[in-house]
Amino acid sequence: MGTGLAIIWHAKSRLLFSVSGIAMAVVIIFVEQGFLYGVLDSQARITRHLNGELVVIHESRTHLNKWNTFKKAHIHRLAAVAGVATVIPIYKTKVRLRNPDTEREKMILAYGFPPSTTPFHGLIDNVARSTLKRRGSVLFDQLSRNIYGTLTLGSDLEINGENHRLEGFFRMGPTIVYDGALLMGDGTLLPHHPGIEPIMAVVQLEQNADLAAIRLTLERAAPQLTVMTPGELEGKEKAFVEQSTPIGILFGIGMVAGLVIGVVVCYQVLFNDINNMLPQYATLKAMGYSNVFLAAVVVEQALFMSVLGFILALPIVWLFFDYLAERTAMLMFIDWQRILRVFVLTLGIGLTAAVLAVRVALRADPARLF
């Protein structure tokens, strides 16, 4: 065990206080980061399920909550481009779904598409998709917020005052604006919404097709449309939400607050330990140990407390995220990239506190021992 670890381990009550404070700071940082990414990921949910190499939207549709549509004639024009296997229109509208428990109507998104096509992956299987060929059949998002009542397979759903049959479920989840979603075939959606145009289109290419060349051709064929990959659409949506709303600033302030709390707690413990053991530090200097060695001792203590605080916080955060995801229906999860980011910030807490506290140790004067 190093000198720094021996010193900090000797004062177990202070170690516990410091580790608990840092753990609280780490939890705050994780939660603020989780809320930020939860909002961004939830807003762009649908882009992760688009089953195509390219997706087409109207050039004026700066974010997914805008309702800019384009003429269906563009679908045929794009489908005629060499290398394109199929272009699948996706329709989107808001409908009123009656809660069977309360008899109250709630707004919900409805997506429509030709049920003989596969514009989505990871949402529905072929059996569920085939049920949408029957007019009046719908699928309900099981991850919708709990405001639509108890819905059972095969039951009747009243949508905009007309009965539809619930043929199955899928799992996508709500956005920050809308609480849930339905999927239905275009044969069910379009007759009730005359004049509705596609909100986007999924472009599936032929095998070994040149994506870059076809993308350029599609852009030239329909200059009023924007052509991008699903990943680019996801990035665009997240960037818009983060840059055009105060969400990033608000959660960023919360993360800074967590950092400050961690630095203050860690510094306070280090300061008290160093101040109480100043004669010992002076003795080390008298024995010939350099200021670099003393600084390393302080840094060792700070990093040890930071790592312990991080380890203590991690299971708490995991449980808390599960609770938040269940209560809010947001995409609250932790991946290794986000864990690493917070771990680096946690080490930064320790290093910052050490830099602030090391000056006290360096002031230790061997002459005062006599």
pLDDT band at 159 (very low <50, low <70, confident <90, very high): very high
Domain ranges of the chain: 3-43+246-369, 54-228
With CA atoms as reference, report the closest residue to 201 among 66, 62, 55, 48.
55
Q: Given pLDDT bands bounded at 50, 70 and 90, which one contains residue 251?
A: confident
pLDDT higher for 311 or 285? 311
- Residues with Cβ < 8 Å from 147, sequence gap 6 or more? 99, 106, 179, 180
pLDDT at 125: 87
Confidence of residue 5 (pLDDT cuts 50, 70, 90): low
Other Cβ atoms within 10 Å of 247 Cβ, number: 17
DSSP-based helix, strand, coil % in the chain, nearest 5: 55, 15, 30
Give one word for 208, left, alpha or beta, with left for phi > 0 and alpha for psi -120 to 50. left
- The position carrying tokens 């997706």 is 55
For Cα atoms 201, 205, 210, give the angle at the middle one, nearest 5 degrees: 125
- Please give the mean pLDDT across all residues of the chain: 87
Contact at 8 Å (CB) between 144 and 181?
yes
- Overall residue count recorded for the chain in this entry: 370
**Mean of the pLDDT values across residues 318-325?**
89
Residues 28-50: tens digit of each pLDDT = 999 988 888 888 888 888 999 99
DSSP string, 49-118: GB-SSEEEEETT--STTS-----THHHHHHHTSTTEEEEEEEEEEEEEEE-TTT--EEEEEEEEE-TTS-
**What does the block give as tokens for 123?**
């949402």
* 3-state secondary structure (DSSP) of residue 166: strand
Q: Which residues pair with 333 in a beta bridge?
A: none
Q: Higher pLDDT residue, 252 or 14? A: 252
| Contact present, 179 and 65 (Cβ < 8 Å) | no
pLDDT at residue 252 in the model: 81
Q: Is 96 in contact with 159 (CB distance < 8 Å)?
A: yes
> Which residue type occupies 98?
R
pLDDT band at residue 347 under the 50/70/90 scheme: very high
pLDDT score, position 6: 64
pLDDT of residue 364: 63
Closest CA to 46 of 177, 153, 194, 164: 177
So what's the pLDDT on residue 39?
85
* Neighbour-count burial of 327, counting CB atoms closer than 10 A to its CB (0-12 exposed, 13-18 middle, 19+ buried): exposed
Q: Match 């160093």 to its residue by tokens.
A: 274
Task: Please name the residues in contact with 206: beta carbons below 8 A apart, sequence gap of 6 or more.
Answer: 83, 84, 85
- pLDDT for 1 beyond 60: no
Q: How confident is the model at residue 293 (pLDDT cuts 50, 70, 90)?
A: confident
What percent of the chain clears pLDDT 70, i.e. is strictly above it? Answer: 94
Higher pLDDT, residue 234 or 357: 234
CA 257 to chain centre: 20
Structural element, H or E, at residue 144:
none
Residue 324: per-residue pLDDT:
86
Q: Which of 352, 357, 360 is nearest to 25 (CA)?
A: 352
Coil, strand or helix at 330: coil
Task: Give dist(CA 216, CA 138) in Å, integer.
Answer: 36
pLDDT of residue 50: 95
Q: What is the pLDDT of residue 241?
A: 81
Asked which of 98-107, 144-153, 285-294, 347-356 is least confident by mean pLDDT, the reply is: 285-294
Give the mean pLDDT of 352-361: 83
Position 298 pLDDT exceeds 80: yes
Question: For strand 181-185 and strand 105-113, is the pairing parallel, antiparallel, or unpaired?
Answer: parallel
Q: For residue 50, what are the β-bridge partners?
A: 120
The predicted-structure confidence for 181-220, as pLDDT tens digits, reads as follows 999 999 999 998 888 999 999 999 999 899 999 999 999 9
Query: Does the pLDDT value for residue 370 go beyond 60?
Result: no
* Phi, psi for residue 132 in degrees, rounded to 5: -75, -10
Nearest to 47 by CA among 196, 224, 204, 238: 238
* pTM confidence score: 0.80
pLDDT digits (tens, 9 = 90+) for 66-101: 888 999 999 999 999 999 999 999 999 999 999 999
How many C-beta neighbours within 10 Å does residue 86 have? 18
Judge whether 111 and 202 are in contact, CB under 8 Å: no
Q: Which two tokens stand for residue 351?
A: 């290093």
